[in-house]
Amino acid sequence: MNDNLVLLSKELVADRRTDRAEFVLRYDEDDTELNGYTTLPVALDSLQALLRSYPEIENKVRLLPDAAVGNKTVGIIKVSVANLRSEPGHSQELATQALLGTPIEVLDLVDNWCLVRTPDRYIAWLEPGAFTAMTVPEAKIWLEGELLRLVPPSGFLTAAPGGTTIISDLVAGNLLRPTGRQQSQFLELALPDNTLGWAPKADFEPSGNWQSPDALSTDRLLEAARKLAGRPYLWGGTSPKGMDCSGFTKTAYYLNGYVIPRDASQQVHAGVEVELTDDFKNLEAGDLLFFGRFREDGSEKITHVGVYLGDGQFLHAGADNGRITTNSLRASAPDYAEHRLKSLLRARRLSPDSKGVLTVNDAFRSLLTK
């Protein structure tokens, strides 16, 4: 039976980072229970069909979200950058991050940690103090109301206009709600939990055009990417405070109003393929370059991604460099990275109408639609 459950889980879940089907068979003297959880309704149907041959097993697998989180199945991030973990606990691996004002789907509650899903469909664990739990209608009111987006790389929300008492730090892409009050060049703004503070009006712009952009400008994408240069490498980071390789490419797109998959091994399936040649003639600025190696079975293992700038150069967040920086694929260049050229496997061109690319608005709304 355990082998059947493992096979069923693998059949149902193509990528555990975006969906789950976790089954645990428990035996005791009196009965046998099948416990666990899944994010897929079809999994319950498949389990029921499988268990027809095992009438002695009681099916207690939960479909998430369930009663553990009640009717507040959505949350809005209320800190500048929320750190999501691979397992419950602050000492666990940083899996990804989410920015202030971002909606999340709240799936489960275990030991005061919430299993959540971010707009890029990534599933990880987050402490409840980092977000405001809401019902779906409450979250829609927040997202459909007037929101302002922070444009500079960083900023602060203070207790008084131009004051020094800090309510919250801010990073580019944070979303806040204006209250309508203004003093001089400062706006009063509200966090998702209705905490109020003040920030310079010049640091913000309406989020509407950003959430639903008409097109993706390569120049703006590269501008956003270059503004992130010099930021430290951070495994699991997807914010201007620190980024890993795919967190960097994801953030550059996010700051331009688009959500792409979280990890490099997911991003390599987005957009369309660009044929690689020795002279790089097929590549265009803004293309994503993917690096990795071949496994023993001949399959590709994608381990790194960067943004192509043109003329053999690419911008990337690499642990070997320690920060987001530019390297070249050309041996004659002073910033030539030989190990990157040797590990270059693929290139992809992402556009708004291509696979795996959503507007922020569509990605946000997908979390509120069942």
Helix (H), strand (E) counts: the chain: 9, 28
Contact 74, 337 (CB under 8 A): no
Is 90 labeled as catalytic in the residue annotation?
Answer: no
Contact 251, 324 (CB under 8 A): no
Q: Can you read off the two tokens belonging to residue 154?
A: 């960083």
DSSP type of residue 255: T
N residues, the chain:
370
Residues 163, 160: Cα–Cα separation, whole Å: 5
Residues 188, 174: Cα–Cα separation, whole Å: 15
Task: Say which residue the tokens 């696979």 belong to.
Answer: 355
Amino acid at 187: L
Q: Can you read off the two tokens belonging to residue 343?
A: 């590990």
What burial class does residue 277 get, using C-beta atoms within 10 Å of its C-beta: 0-12 exposed, 13-18 middle, 19+ buried?
exposed
Q: Which residues pair with 34 in a beta bridge?
A: 25, 59
Is 316 labeled as catalytic in the residue annotation?
Answer: yes
The full DSSP string for 89-113 is STTSPEEEEEETT-EEEEEEEETTE
List Cβ<8 Å contacts ≥24 apart for 326-333.
326/229, 329/280
Annotated catalytic residue, options 114, 269, 316, 339: 316
Annotated catalytic residue, options 90, 114, 245, 339: 245
Q: CA nearest 289: which of 300, 280, 279?
A: 280
Q: State phi, psi for 203 to the nearest 5 degrees.
A: -85, -5
Is 304 labeled as catalytic in the residue annotation?
Answer: yes
DSSP H or E stretch at residue 115: strand 113-117
Query: Which residue numbers are catalytic?
Result: 245, 304, 316
